[in-house]
Structure 1
Amino acid sequence: MHREALVDLNAFAAVAEERSFTRASVRLGTSQSAISYAVRRLEDRLGVRLLHRTTRSVAPTEAGQLLLETLRTSFEEISEQLSFIEKLGSEPSGTIRISTPEHAFTTVLWPKLSEFMRSHPSIKLEVELNAGDVDIVDARFDVGVRLGREVPKDMVAVPLGPELRMAVVASPEYFSGRQRPMTPYELSNHLCINYRRPMTGRVVPWEFSLDNKRARLRVGGQLTFNNMMAALNAARAGHGVAYIPEDYVNADLTSGALERVLSDWCAPYSGFHLYYANRKQPSAALALLINALKLPAMPRT
C-alpha cells in the first residue's frame, strides 16, 4: 500500500468520526483543504462516494460506514502492536503463572526455564505441578502445558518438544514363566498397572495403533496409581505390566531392569505444548517466555 493511501484513509476516518472537516483538521493538525483533498482522492481511487456532504453536516455513506468500521479495527490493532513494541524497549517485568504436568516440567520445561530466569531477572515465575487438567483461565494461570492433542481448541498452542511414545514394560522377573503379549488384546492375560488422572479421577486407557489397526483398551490388574513414578516403581518391582512414557523408562531398558513389549504398536503422538488464552496480544514478559520455550522450527530439506 502506498504511503499516500494511508494518509487518505486516516483523513477519511477522522472526518467520518468527527462528522466535520473542521474538527478533523484540528484533530490531525493539518489544513481543512488538505483533509478535503485526501478524502476526494480516496473516493476517486475506490470509485465510490464515502461521505454525504451538505452545508450543515457530514456523514458516512453505507460504503463509508463499512470502511470506517474496518479501519477502526485495523487502527486499534496497529496501536496495540506499537504499544507492545514500545514495551520491548525496556526490560519486561511481572509474574507469570504456569500450570504444567510434572513429566513436562522435568523433561522439557525446566532446562529452558532455568536459562530464561538467568536472562530475565525482572520476571518472576510461579509454577504449579499438576496432571495438566486445569482450566488455566478459571484458575488464573497465564500459560499451561499439555500434550498437543489435549490442548483446548480455543487456545493458542506452541510446541515445546518433540513427539512422544508410550512404552509397555515389565520386569524380567514378571515375564519369567509368562507368555509375552504379541498384540494389545493379549494384555487381558496379564496383570496391568493402571494410571488414574489426579484431577479428573479417570483411569487412562491404553491406546495402540499399527498400520490401519487401532485399539483403545481398559486393562485390569491389582494396582492403580495416580502418580506415574509410582506405577513405574511397581513395574520395576515385578508387580505387572505398565504403560509408561518412553522417556521415563529408557534408562531401565538400557540397564535391563525393565523389558519392553508391543513396541511396534506404540505409535508416536504430539508432544508437550505451551498454550494460552486467545487474546489479541500477550504481555511483553509472556511473549519473551513463549519465544524462549517454543520448539525451534526444523530447517526445510
Structure 2
Amino acid sequence: MDRDLWSGLAVFAAIVEAGSFARAATRLGRSASALSHAMRVLETRLGVRLIDRTTRSLSPTRAGEALLLRLKPAIAAVEDALGDLDGARETPAGHIRISAHRVAAVYAILPRLADFARAYPDITVELVVDDGFVDIVADRFDCGVRHAMTLQADMIAVRISDAVPLVYVAAPAYLDDNPPPAGPHDLDAHRCLCYRHTSSGAVHRWEFERDGRRSERAIRGDFVTNDVDLMRDAAAAGLGICCLPLPHAVRHLADGRLVEVLAGWAAVLPPNYLYHPSRRQPTAAFRAFVDAMRA
C-alpha cells in the first residue's frame, strides 16, 4: 500500500477515536493543522468526505464509519505485529504513557523511575497527573494508577503501594486562635479546606474511622480547590483544617508547618494499583515498566 495513503488512514482513525483534531494531535505528537492537512489530502485522494466538522465537534460520515469499521481490525493487527517484534529486542525500547493521581505519581511512581531509567535507557516515560477520572483506553494511555475503588472495569490490576493513611492537619497559627476539634462533630465551628473532584465536580466527603467503625461527613468548605498541593499550602498558611493523604503532609508535619488534629479519627485509603486493558498485548517495554512498579 502507498505509504502516504496508509499514513492518512491512520490519522483518520486517530482523529475519530480522539474526538477532535487537537486531542489527536497531542496523542500523535503533531500539530492540529498538520492533521487537518492530512485529512484534506486523504479525502481528496479518495474522492469522498470522511469526517463532518463543525466549530465544536466532529463525527465520521456514513462512508467514514464504514471505512473505520474495516480499518480497526487492520490497525489492531499491525499493533500486535509491532508488539511481537518489540519482544524480539535484546533491550526493551519504546514509549510508556501513564495517567496517575498526584499522590501516586509523587510517592509511588517517581521514586522508582531513576532505577528504571538506568536499567532501560531506551524506554521513555510520559507521566500525566490527573486527579479526576480518566478513560485510559479512550485517551490512549498504556496504563493508569488509582486507588482500588476507582479502577475502570475489565482491567488487569497490579498493586504498587500499601494502603494510604489520611491525616487531618492545620497550621499552628490557626490553632492558636481556634481550639483543636475533639471529634468530627466539632468541625462545624472551624474553617475547613475541601477538595473538589475534577471529573464529577463533587466536593470530597471527609472520612473517619474509629474503633473499627467507618463514617463520612459532608463538610462545608470555606476554601475549595481541585489541587491537593494548593489545599495543603492553604492549610500551612493558616486558612483552616484540611484532610490530606499522609505522604503529602509528612514533610510539613516534620518541620512544624502543619500539626495533626483529630488524631485517631482519620481513615485509610486503599492501596494504589497500576491497571491496564486485559485485551491489549503488552510490549516488552510495558512489561518491564510494570515489573519495576510492582517491586
Residues in 2 aligned to 1:255 and 1:206: alpha-carbon distance in whole angstroms = 25
- 1:105 matched to 2:105? The reply is yes
Structure 2: distance between partners of 1:251 and 1:280? 40
* Counterpart position of 2:260: 260
- Which residue identity is paired with 1:102? R
Q: How big is each residue's C-alpha offset from its partner over 1:58-79, in whole Å with a ceiling of 9 and x where there is no partner?
A: xxxxxxxxxxxxxxxxxxxxxx
CA–CA distance in structure 2, aligned partners of residues 203 and 86 of structure 1: 44
Q: Is the 8 A contact 2:132 2:197 kept in 1?
A: no
What is the correspondence of 1:38-187 to structure 2 with a 5 Å cutoff? 87=87, 90-187=90-187
CA shift, 1:260, in A, is: 0.8
Q: CA RMSD in A?
A: 2.2
Per-residue deviation, 1:241? 0.4
Q: Please give the alpha-carbon distance, in whole angstroms, between the structure 1 residues aligned to 2:139 and 2:281.
A: 20
Counterpart contact for 1:95–1:124, Cα < 8 Å: yes
User: Structure 1 residue 132: deviation in Å?
Assistant: 4.6
Distance in 2 (alpha carbons) for counterparts of 1:177 and 1:224: 21
8 Å CA contact retained: 2:104, 2:145:
yes
Evaluate the alpha carbon distance shift between residue 93 and residue 228 of structure 1 in structure 2; reply closer, same or farther with a 3 A threshold.
Answer: same
In 1: Cα distance, 2:89 partner to 2:179 partner: 65
Are the equivalent residues in 2 in contact too, given 1:99–1:141 (CA < 8 A)? yes
After superposition, give the CA deviation of every residue in 1:255-284 in whole Å (9 maximum; x if it has no partner).
Answer: 222121122111333222111111264222
Measured against aligned partners, the alpha-carbon deviations of 1:112-158 in whole angstroms (never above 9, x if no partner) come to: 12221222122222221211511101111110111122212421111
Shift of 1:220: 1.3
Q: State the one-letter code of the partner of 2:242.
A: A
Distance 1:94 1:231, change over 3 A: same
Unaligned ranges ≥5, structure 1: 1-79, 297-301
Residue 238 of structure 1 deviates from its aligned partner by: 1.0
Matched, 1:208 2:208: yes
Unaligned runs of 5+ in 2: 1-79
Q: Which residue is 1:48 aligned to?
A: none
- Residue 233 of structure 1 corresponds to 233
Aligned to 2:277: 277
Tell me the residue number matched to 1:247.
247
Q: Distance in 2 between matches of 1:283 and 1:277?
A: 13
* Residues 167, 266 of structure 1: 8 Å contact kept: yes
Q: After superposition, where does 1:209-224 map in structure 2 within 5 Å?
A: 209-224=209-224
Answer yes or no: is the 8 Å Cα contact 2:206–2:243 preserved in 1: yes
3-state SS in 2 of match to 1:263: coil
Relative to structure 1, is the Cα distance of residues 288 and 215 closer, same or farther in structure 2, using a 3 angstrom cutoff? Answer: same
Residue type matched to 1:210 in 2? Answer: R
Alpha-carbon distance between aligned partners in 1 of 2:116 and 2:288, rounded to the nearest angstrom: 9
Whole-angstrom CA distance in 2 between matches of 1:114 and 1:132: 26
For 2:91 and 2:267, locate their aligned partners in 1 and report how far apart those are by CA, in whole Å: 43
Letter in 1 for 2:133: D
CA offsets 1:177-207 (integer angstroms, 9 cap, x no match):
4232222122122110011122332211111
Q: Counterparts of 1:159 and 1:84 in 2: how far apart (Å)?
A: 26
86-95 or 208-217: which moved more?
86-95
8 Å contact 1:190–1:221 — kept in the other structure? no
Q: Please state how far the C-alpha of 1:91 moved relative to its aligned partner.
A: 2.1
The letter of the residue matching 2:251 is: A
Residue 84 of structure 1: how far off its partner (Å):
6.4
Q: Report the 3-state secondary structure (helix = DSSP H, G, I; strand = E; otherwise coil) of the residue aligned with 1:176.
A: helix
Identity %: 33
CA distance in structure 1 between the partners assigned to 2:164 and 2:288 by the alignment: 26
Kept in 2, the 8 Å contact 1:194–1:231? The answer is yes
Residue pair 2:181, 2:187 contacting (<8 A) in 1 also:
yes
State whether structure 2 residue 156 is matched by structure 1 residue 192: no
Distance 1:184 1:229 in 2: 23
Q: Secondary structure at the match of 1:207?
A: strand
- Tell me if the contact between 1:184 and 1:215 (Cα under 8 Å) persists in the aligned partners: no
- Helix, strand or coil for the counterpart of 1:232? helix
Equivalent position amino acid for 2:187 in 1? L
SS of alignment partner, residue 264 of structure 1? coil
Secondary structure of 2:202's match? coil
Higher alpha-carbon Rg:
1
The 3-state SS of whatever aligns with 1:221 is coil
